[in-house]
Amino acid sequence: MTAAIIGVGMTRFGRDLEHQLPELAFKAIDEALRDAGVSKEDIGFIAFGNVGGWSGEFFPLPIVCEYAGLNPRGGMRVEAACASGSAALAAACMAVESGYADIALAVGAERMNELASTPAIVELLGRGGNFFWEFEMLGLTFPAYYALFARAYMDEYGATEEDLAKIAVKNHYYGSMNPKAQFQKKITIEDVLNSRYVAWPLKLYDCSPITDGAAAAVVASERIASRLTDTPIWVKSQGIATAPANLTMRRDLLSIESVVEAARQAYRKARIEDPVRSLDLALVHDCFTIAEIIAYEDLGFARRGGGYLLAREEQTYIGGLIPVNTDGGLKAKGHPIAASGLAMIYEAVKQLRQEVDRGRQAPIKHGQALIHNVGGTGHFAYVTILSLEKP
């Protein structure tokens, strides 16, 4: 049995000091239900992605269900670091594919600016690596982890800080046209290069922001999806993999092995041999600009060492080899940890339906989109293929 997405919703991402976590989640849920044309009474299962630690609700799922009027339906909180949104989608798909529910709801929400300061949030995220050996002993934070990746990549292949800056400029360009993005202003190469260093060679504009927000998707079983909407978006495949938390256990810093494995699974299940010739667009996890470049190679868009050339030659804009992050990416759209994966799903669904504003709408020729969502430094990897065609 195959699952289909029949509705999506998303808040505007940014620094939100007005709405509590249940309110943010409700706003995304309400939009998704309206988009699907179903009511909360139709929902048979809820998968709620949330990392928390920076907000007041220690057990957020019951509070969200109560606020959204979803009791007494069953559900679970799902956590896979920054990939929690994709994990929630996977759990919702499993619920309908197994026959447990006809319609399930996947939600991701974070209120990162509620309790913690920026240094405290950076520390909490740093604890998500290998706590003892890398955080406690070496003092690594996530900007520092990805700075190591960037330095290794630049040394090996000759990429420059200007190549990294190209990613930021592209994603802010598309973010400027996205009404739900945290940053809606174009930037230049000079803006990026003149921004302060956070962890050399990564600068402020190489890093995704601290964000509040929520996103949701309504998932229906194969049996009823086509009855509920004329445009079901089928979850054609999803690859899931993990990698060692300790970087010393990785083969190298030039690739995220969990992404390679998750992509292999997703392509095999979707019968994709050449992703560039089979996909209309990709939404990739650009928590840092180097992460997007490495993703190009791990996903098979470019040969090893060739990812930065896609950026340099602007081949991941609409009209290029393959459009990437037409919503602004995590870099400009924002990165409310557990909501990010479902926000990518939101964009992919809207793109496949051709409901995106002109200027951001990718040409839809193959009817397929890819979502790449990474947790931690590759601790978790989810690669999802969405399709207009039923598998």
Catalytic residue among 65, 82, 93, 287: 82
Residue 301 and residue 189: Cα distance in Å, rounded?
Answer: 24
Residue 258 and residue 389: Cα distance in Å, rounded?
Answer: 27
DSSP H or E stretch at residue 204: none
- What residues contact residue 283 under an 8 Å CB cut-off, 6+ apart? 324, 325, 326, 327, 329, 344, 347, 348, 369, 370, 371, 372
Tokens found for residue 51:
């990392």
DSSP H or E stretch at residue 166: helix 161-175
DSSP H or E stretch at residue 281: strand 281-283
Closest CA to 294 of 374, 195, 198: 374
CB atoms within 10 A of CB 39: 11
Residue 43 and residue 147: Cα distance in Å, rounded?
Answer: 43
Residue 233 and residue 104: Cα distance in Å, rounded?
Answer: 15
Residue 267 and residue 204: Cα distance in Å, rounded?
Answer: 34
Active site residue 82: yes
Catalytic residue among 172, 335, 372, 379: 335
Catalytic residues: 82, 335
